Chain A
Amino acid sequence: MKTSMIIAFGLVLAQSAFAAPIVTSWTNPECATGSCEVKGLKLFIDKVAAKTFSANSVSAEIETTEAKHLTKYGIVQYIKGCHYSKTPQGFVRYSIRNSLAKSVPFIHKDWEVDSGDDVDPLYWSNDAAGFDDLRGYFVPRNSGYAYANPALTDNWGSWAGKMKNLKANKIYITDMPTPSTWSISADLTQTAVISSLKFRTCVYEISKIPTAISDAKVVFDGAIGCLEWSSNYEYDFAKRKFVDMGKEISEVCR
Chain B
Amino acid sequence: MKNRILNVTFCLLAFVGIASTAFAAELPWSNEWARTISIKKVAGTKLKLQYGFTKKAFLGNTFAEMNALIAKLTGDPKAFITPEYLNFYMGYEAIGFTDYAKDQGDFVIDEELQAIQAKSDAGTLVKEDFKNNRRWIHIVNAIDKEEINCIAISVIAGVTAGCGDVWQGGITDDEVVCHKDYNYLKCHVGCLNKIYNRQAEVTEGFCPERK
Query: Is the beta-carbon distance between A160 and B180 smaller than 8 angstroms?
Result: no
Q: How far is the CA of A126 from the CA of B189 in the complex (A)?
A: 20
- Is B121 engaged at the interface, CB distance under 8 Å to the other chain? no
> At the interface, is chain B mostly helix, strand, loop or mixed?
loop
- Is B145 engaged at the interface, CB distance under 8 Å to the other chain? yes
Q: Nearest Cβ distance between residue B44 and chain A, in whole angstroms?
A: 5
Given contacts A101-B43, A117-B43, A134-B189, contact A158 B144 (CB under 8 A): yes
Q: Nearest Cβ distance between residue B127 and chain A, in whole angstroms?
A: 10
Query: Using an 8 Å CB-CB cutoff, how does the interface string of A128-155 with B read, 1 for contact, 0 for none?
Result: 1000011111010001100000000000
Nearest A residue (CB) for B46:
A101
- Is A205 engaged at the interface, CB distance under 8 Å to the other chain? no
Contact residues in A for B211 (Cβ distance below 8 Å) = none
Report the interface size for chain B: residues with CB under 8 A from the other chain: 22
Given contacts A101-B43, A119-B44, A212-B44, contact A136 B198 (CB under 8 A): yes
Query: Is the beta-carbon distance between A101 and B44 smaller than 8 angstroms?
Result: yes
- Is A61 engaged at the interface, CB distance under 8 Å to the other chain? no
Query: Is the beta-carbon distance between B145 and A134 smaller than 8 angstroms?
Result: no
Contact residues in B for A101 (Cβ distance below 8 Å) = 42-44
Nearest A residue (CB) for B188:
A134
Nearest B residue (CB) for A162:
B144
Residue in A135, A157, A158 whose CB lies within 8 Å of B192: A135
Q: A128-B141, A158-B144 are in contact. List 12 more A-B contacts (CB 8 A).
A: A118-B43, A134-B184, A134-B192, A135-B200, A137-B196, A139-B143, A143-B143, A157-B144, A160-B146, A160-B147, A165-B146, A212-B44
